[in-house]
Structure 1
Amino acid sequence: MNNFKKPDSSLWQGRKSNGDLYIHEKVICVDAIKKESAKTFAILSYACDEGVKRNQGRVGAVTGPEAIKKQLAKMPNHLKNNTQFLDVGTVFCVDDNMEQAQQTLAKTITTLLKNNTFPIVLGGGHDIAYGHYNGIFNAIEKDKTIGIINFDAHFDLRANTNGYNSGTPFYQIAEDCKTNNTTFNYLCLGIRDDANDASLFTTANKLGVTVIKNEDFNLHQSKKIQEQISTFINSVDVVYTTIDLDGFSSAYAAGVSAASPMGFSPDIALQCLQTIIKSGKLISLDIAEMNPTYDIDNQTAKLAASIVHTVIHSA
Structure 2
Amino acid sequence: MPKYKPTKANIYSGRASDQELYLHEKISCANISDLSTNTDTKSIALLGYECDEGVKLNLGRPGAVNGPDAIRKQLAKLPNHLTTKTHFYDAGNVRHGKGKLGDTQALLSEKVSELLKAGVFPIVLGGGHDMAYGTYNGIKMAKDGATIGIINFDAHFDLRSNINGSNSGTPFYQIAEDCKANNLPFHYLCMGIRQDANDSSLFQTAKNLEVIYIQRDTFRIEFHNEINAWINAFIKNVDLVYVTIDLDGFSSAYAPGVSAPSPMGFTPDVVLESLKTITHSGKLAAVDIAEMNPIYDVDNQTARLAASLIHGIIHAH
With the shorter chain as reference, the TM-score category is over 0.9
Contact 1:50 1:96 in 2 (8 A): no
Q: Which residue of the other structure, out of 245, 263, 266, is the alignment partner of 2:265?
A: 263
DSSP 3-state at the match of 1:286: strand
SS of corresponding position for 2:217: helix
Equivalent residue in structure 1 for 2:76, among 73, 77, 80: 73
Match of 2:24 in 1: 24
Structure 1 residue 181: Cα displacement: 1.0
Which residue identity is paired with 1:153?
A
The one of 149, 164, 167 aligned to 1:165: 167
Report the AA paired with residue 169 of structure 2.
G
Using the TM superposition, give the Cα deviation of residue 30 of structure 1 relative to its aligned residue in structure 2, in angstroms.
0.7
2:35 & 2:193 partners in 1: Cα distance?
36
State how far apart, in whole Å, the 2-side matches of 1:36 and 1:299 are: 36
Give the drift of 1:96: 4.1
Q: Distance in 1 between matches of 2:100 and 2:180?
A: 25
Q: Is the 8 A contact 1:151 1:189 kept in 2?
A: yes
User: What is the deviation of 1:34?
Assistant: 2.3
- Aligned-residue Cα RMSD (Å) equals 0.8
Q: Is the 8 A contact 2:2 2:98 kept in 1?
A: no
Cα distance in structure 1, aligned partners of 2:138 and 2:180: 18
* CA gap 1:2/1:55 in 2 versus in 1, 3 angstroms: closer
Q: Do the aligned partners of 1:33 and 1:111 also contact (CA within 8 Å) in 2?
A: no
User: Structure 1 residues 300-309 or 36-45, which shifts more?
Assistant: 36-45
The residue identity in structure 2 corresponding to 1:45 is G
1:89 aligns with: 92
How far did residue 161 of structure 1 move? Answer: 2.0
Find the aligned partners of 1:247 and 1:181 in 2 and give their Cα distance.
31
Alignment correspondent of 1:187:
189
Give the TM-score, by structure 2 length: 0.98
| Mapping for residues 230-241 of structure 1, pairs under 5 Å | 230-241=232-243
Runs (5+) with no aligned partner, structure 2: none
1:82 partner letter? K
The Cα shift of 1:193 comes to: 0.3
- 1:33 deviation in Å? 3.0
Query: Out of 118, 130, 140, which is 1:127 matched to?
Result: 130
Shift of 1:100: 1.1
Deviations 1:115-149 (A, max 9, x none): 1110000000000000110000111131x210000
How far is 1:53 from its partner?
0.2
Residue matched to 2:120: 117
**Larger deviation, residues 88-97 vs 39-48:** 88-97
Mapped contact 2:221–2:269 kept (Cα < 8 A): yes
Q: TM-score, normalization: structure 1?
A: 0.98
Aligned length: 314
Preserved CA contact (<8 Å) 2:2 2:96: no
Residue 202 of structure 1 aligns with which residue?
A: 204
**Rounded Cα–Cα distance in structure 2 between residues aligned with 1:39 and 1:100:** 31
Give the deviation of 1:219 after TM superposition: 1.3
Q: Is the 8 A contact 1:239 1:281 kept in 2?
A: yes
Deviations 1:65-90 (A, max 9, x none): 00000000000001000100000100
For residues 172 and 35 of structure 2, the distance between their equivalents in structure 1, rounded to whole angstroms, comes to 28
Matches within 5 A, 1:132-151: 132-142=135-145, 144-151=146-153
* 2:214 paired residue number: 212
Structure 1 SS opposite 2:54: helix
Partner of 2:59: 56
> AA paired with 2:20?
D
- Output the CA distance in 2 between the equivalents of 1:53 and 1:250: 20
Question: What are the superposed Cα offsets for residues 4-38 of structure 1, whole Å, 9 maximum, x if unpaired?
Answer: 11111111111110110000000011123322331
d(CA) in 2 for partners of 1:176, 1:284: 19
